[in-house]
Amino acid sequence: MITVKALTKSYQMGESQVLALRGVEFNIKANEFVAIMGPSGSGKSTLMNIIGCLDKPSSGSYQLNEQEVASLDDDQLSAVRNKEIGFVFQSFHLLPRMSALQNVLLPLRFSEHQQDSDAYAQSLLARVGLGERQDHRPNQLSGGQRQRVAIARALVNRPAILLADEPTGALDSKTSVEIMALFTELHQAGQTIILVTHEEEVAAYAQRIIRMRDGEIIEIENRGQDAA
């Protein structure tokens, strides 16, 4: 599904050039659960932006479903993001004046999956345990419930990949365990998940952990099917 070879990314900061990624290489197969882990400045967020088609590499190759991402124009990248990738962020990014259901339905405005969209969005909210709260606004929900809405929204376009950036970063430890149990359940149902985190206990839920430091992969740990 994903093939990354000799990937680099550099940024110009004043008179200096910062090399955020240094020859990164790995593969991710369909239905895997992979964590990308590292401290601040390790390059994991830069890598996540490239995997999510939010940015392009400076050199090297990133292929998503055998398609070279660097060759795509902005419209094509937007289409890939909308169709292939569901995003879950640390800060939820829910619209405060909309209900949980309306937030989940938002990505479908530009999607081919509009038929029976209300019923499908309702089924996703039920799947994440919020079937009875679909009319609640974000300020009427707990942090964990808001993250569940964000996960349902990420799934509504039936993406090939669920890309989660520090999804437990704004949650307490008990709620974090509940959210990671939900990710595990989604993976067991066949969802490909790529999780970006700096927390060992969160990364431990994944089948594989790609550990980064200073823009390089320093270790890939295979944890098997029954991690955490």
What is the predicted pLDDT for the residue at 112? 60
Can you give the pTM of this predicted structure?
A: 0.90
The answer to whether position 88 is within a domain reads yes
The answer to whether position 216 is within a domain reads yes
Q: Give the domain range for residue 125.
A: 30-53+84-222
For 221, residues 6+ apart whose C-beta sits below 8 A from its C-beta are 208, 209, 211
Computed over every residue of the chain, the mean pLDDT equals 91
What confidence tier does 109 reach under pLDDT thresholds 50, 70, 90? confident
Model confidence at 226: pLDDT above 60: no
The answer to whether position 24 is within a domain reads no
Cα–Cα distance for residue pair 16/213, rounded to 1 Å: 20
The answer to whether position 109 is within a domain reads yes
The answer to whether position 14 is within a domain reads no
Domain count of the chain? 1
- Listing DSSP states for 136-169 in one string gives --GGGS-HHHHHHHHHHHHHTT--SEEEEESTTT
Closest CA to 43 of 59, 22, 25, 17: 22
The answer to whether position 71 is within a domain reads no
In DSSP terms, 61 is beta-bridged to: 5
Model confidence at 110: pLDDT above 90: no
The answer to whether position 160 is within a domain reads yes
Contact assessment for residue 108 and residue 149, using Cβ atoms and an 8 Å cutoff: no
Mean pLDDT of 209-227: 87
- Only one residue has tokens 């879950």, namely 88
Closest CA to 164 of 24, 23, 48: 48
pLDDT digits (tens, 9 = 90+) for 164-204: 999 998 899 999 999 999 999 999 999 999 999 999 999 99
Closest CA to 33 of 159, 214, 192, 213: 192
